Amino acid sequence: MSISTAKRGRPGHDQASVLRTAVDSFNKHGYEATSMGVLADALGISKSAIYHHVTSKEELLRRALEEALGGLEGVLMLDGATSGAPDSRLEFVLRGTIAVLVDRLPFVTLLLRLRGNTEMEREALARRRAFDRTITGLVSEAQASGMLRDDIAAATITRLLFGTVNSIVEWYKPGGDLSAEKLADDVLAMCFEGLHR
């Protein structure tokens, strides 16, 4: 069999599969250390073939970060996040965040590992900080309404909550015995039993 015949028999790639492979490579090697050659090797195609799907490595990073940030920001737009008692809204957002994290685990992992070395990374980190500020606002509202203890600063509570939630990317394995719903139940039980009055 000739090489050209073997290449024709390989499965093709679409933008989604190229993006997934890029994110896996970024998470494994780091964004800066992942060249288009590394991506081509991981995909089993030539570097020039990647450009049939995307214009640059930066485009892959932009799309990956939008998967993560768009999902997280989308949770804040849902009815459960915008109406109801502050503690219920906070719990809704935490459940939604965990669901996004589990559903888009490689993308959120990449977001959480950003260093801010490029303008695009700095913009993503700014969006992430804005998300955190929204959560801090929900915590403050819940404290003001008497639903959460107020002897811990709202920003500290937010950091501790999301330190717990964000650690999921380091150990959670989708498809295992622990479902996303049970994971959310466990996180909320652990966090809020210590926060509710």
CATH number listed for the domain at residues 60-193: 1.10.357.10
pLDDT mean over 3-32: 75
Out of 1.10.10.60, 3.40.190.10, 1.10.10.10, 2.40.50.140, select the CATH number for domain 3-54. 1.10.10.60
pLDDT at 165 over 90: yes
Q: What number of other Cβ atoms are within 10 A of residue 116's Cβ?
A: 12
The whole-angstrom separation of Cα 125 and Cα 105 is 17
Confidence of residue 46 (pLDDT cuts 50, 70, 90): confident
Mean pLDDT check: name the lowest of 27-36, 43-52, 93-102: 43-52
Give pLDDT tens digits for 143-153. Answer: 999 999 999 99
Give pLDDT tens digits for 93-109. Answer: 999 999 999 999 999 99
Q: CB-based contacts of 54: which residues, under 8 Å, 6+ apart?
A: 15, 18, 19, 60, 63
pLDDT mean over 48-58: 89
User: What's the pLDDT score for residue 194?
Assistant: 58
Q: What percent of the chain has pLDDT over 70?
A: 92
User: What's the pLDDT score for residue 10?
Assistant: 37
- Give how far Cα 154 sits from Cα of 26, 34, 43, 87, Å: 33, 38, 45, 13
Q: How much is the pTM? A: 0.86
Confidence of residue 195 (pLDDT cuts 50, 70, 90): low
The domain segmentation of the chain, as residue ranges, is: 3-54, 60-193
pLDDT mean over 61-69: 97
**Amino acid (1-letter code) at residue 123:** E
